[in-house]
Amino acid sequence: MENYKKNLKMLQDGHVYSKEMEHDACGVGLIASTEGKKSRKVVEYGINALKAVWHRGAVDADGKTGDGAGIHIEIPSDFFAEKIEITGHNHDGSEICVGMIFLPRNNYEAQENARTIFESELTKSNFSIYGWRQVPVNPKVLGEKANLTRPEITQILFKHNDKNLTEKELERKIYESRRKIEKEAIKNAIKDFYICSLSSKSIIYKGMFLAESISDFYEDLKDERFISRFAIFHQRFSTNTAPSWDLAQPFRAIAHNGEINTLKGNFNWMKVHEQQMDSPLFDDMENLKPVIPPGSSDSASLDSVFELLNISGHSAPLAKLMLIPDAWSKKSKTLPKDHLQLFNFLNSTMEPWDGPAAIAATDNEWAIVATDRNGLRPMRYTITKDKILCAGSETGMVEIDEKKIVKKGRLGPGEIIGVRIAKGKVFTNKDIKDYLAKEFKHFNNQIIDLDKKFPIKNEKSIFSGEELKKRQHAFGYSLEDLELILHPMAEDGKEAIGSMGDDTPLAVLSDRYRPLYHFFRQNFSQVTNPPIDSLRENKVMSLKTRFGNLGNILDFTNLTKENIYVLDSPILSNSQLEKFINFFGQNSKTIDCTFSKEENLEGAIERIQRDAEISVRQGLTQLVLSDKNISNERLPIPMLLSVGAVNTYLIKKN
């Protein structure tokens, strides 16, 4: 510590150090017992670690308002048993269920409505309510903005009347009840209502205070009876959404450092998966939809899907590999074969939520930390002789005697380390993937590699000369595109690299013809320069394309009755396309995506949608949308428009 201070002083004196440089990203981490015993030390380490990463959050001009900090721990039974006695009830030894709830502070009518909805839904689901508890807080530690937006913070204490329910069954009942309560609150337009946690296993304390103020604001956390086998903590540095009390982390399953750059696509794909979701574990699947509540941030959206997978029986490590997969390739010489088979299967079930991302997560059976395939968010860990795993955004979050350290290191891209909470056993990255690979070994039989079936042979071009030029012109290829972009790609196998700047006007403002594709732009900083290259960056990127994989993500044994087809690239050669259509034979339908001068564009799109619906209702599973029939009489509908129209239409029709 003395050396650190000396070095810091030298940097400050040399005008190299700048305090602003410290505010770089969220602080996230996990403290877990590696012997399966609840202790006060785990909670205190978690609080101290959160306070140590204060510099990773933003601070408002008032100096006291943060943009979110919190801690996720197990429910301290002795503490809440006493609170039940205060309500006038006797605790009969059954599992204590606790909800941590934000209510609108200055709207008493809305508060009562929210409480009524809560009590009504819980009672309908065979729960008994002990009572409500006002959470003691110290608003003096808050900044002006945090205090102005501060919700009424309350807890509900309850139990389930069926004592024969297993722990997992009880959590599922609570989860389904929470989803019904949330939907009912939206229906009744109750604003500023949020359920931080509702569980028989764990509880979350969070808010818009500075990280160092968490135990001053929430007086509960100072109680010695607050013991736990894990503590997940998070200090938020807001990137894509404005700070608010409900968007502070941790969320119910994860705490996340980074951004999800594929968010809009993930949200839309989840809408598609919702149609196939089915599980006998839940009373009514409609209670769980939409899986991602409206208005969720990227982290909250990821959390919602992660939590659903956990509740339906997929463990935290499995959910991580489904949602935030490893970088892998069938050609890899370093990855074990069974790991490759595992990744191949899991990547065929869900679309990746691509970060940068580092997460700490729990399903109340596992507590894990992990990174995404790029490894662009740091995650370091330490395992000690006194049976503690500390993992987080940086080292030194908890002061540990070097002599007590058994092992320390950092997670590489895509790696996981975790603890089986009840057993208290540490599982390394290899342990976890070996365990899962063994469990899901037999699921690879449904995956068919079409590249092996359709090798490129006897390739012939269909158009040349004048006919080719006409089509290039019709589809918006200029001479500049052909010479400066396509020519070097064809000749050297390299992506063309232009200047750093782009002075091309937005398509909507351009006075030249611009194809529909040019009207679409990335939402925020997802840009690399030079372009991402799937050949030279194949360790983290591939063009692998799957279809037939929209099965039931909640139940792998009934994932899909159909085969899952895989292609190494979304681009087919002419000979491959022909073989492709012949392979599916009568199970596919080609829909004409051109229109005549007599038929307007809107009418043509409606025709395509109708043809698609009829084909699907007839049981066909492959639709081929083709603009091949263009001529002097027939104009092409932009394929982006055709695919989007069919996709959204079929989703609406379920």
Which residues have a catalytic role annotated? 26
b or e along 297-324 (b: 16 or more beta carbons within 10 Å of the residue's beta carbon)?
bbbbbbbbbbbbbbbbebbbbbbbbbbb
Angle at 400 between CA 398 and CA 402, to 5 degrees: 145
CB of 214 closer than 8 Å to CB of 50? yes
Please list the residues that pair with 209 across neighbouring strands.
Answer: 65
Give the number of other CB atoms < 10 A from CB of residue 625. Answer: 18
For residues 598, 600, 606 and 612, what is the CA-based torsion angle, rounded to 10 degrees?
A: 60
The span from the first CA to the last CA of the chain, in angstroms, equals: 61
Tokens 């979701």 belong to 277
Burial of 66 (0-12, 13-18, 19+ CB in 10 A): buried
Q: Report d(CA 340, CA 390) in Å as an integer.
A: 29
Give the number of other CB atoms < 10 A from CB of residue 216. Answer: 16
Q: Report d(CA 648, CA 293) in Å as an integer.
A: 19
Concatenating the DSSP letter of every residue in 486-500 gives IHHHHHHS------S
Tokens (6 digits) for 639: 């394929």
Could you tell me the strand order of the sheet in which 357-362 lies? 254-258, 357-362, 366-371, 416-420, 425-427
Q: Report d(CA 483, CA 489) in Å as an integer.
A: 10
Give the number of other CB atoms < 10 A from CB of residue 57. Answer: 24
Residues 6+ apart with CB under 8 A from 102: 151, 152, 153, 192, 193, 194, 195, 196, 245, 246
Tokens (6 digits) for 649: 């239409």
Query: Which of helix, strand or coil describes residue 255?
Result: strand
What is the DSSP-derived secondary structure letter of residue 22? G
Q: Report d(CA 170, CA 95) in Å as an integer.
A: 9
b or e along 443-480 (b: 16 or more beta carbons within 10 Å of the residue's beta carbon)?
beebbeebeeebeeeeeeeeeeeeeeeebbeeeeeeee
CB of 370 closer than 8 Å to CB of 379? yes
Q: Looking at this protein, which amino acid is placed at residue 549?
A: N
What is the DSSP-derived secondary structure letter of residue 291? S
Give the number of other CB atoms < 10 A from CB of residue 375. Answer: 20
Give the number of other CB atoms < 10 A from CB of residue 580. Answer: 19
Q: Which of 375, 399, 377 is nearest to 388 (CA)?
A: 399
CA 122 to chain centre: 28
Q: Report d(CA 397, CA 163) in Å as an integer.
A: 41
Q: At what angle do helices 167-187 and 298-311 cross, to 10 degrees?
A: 140
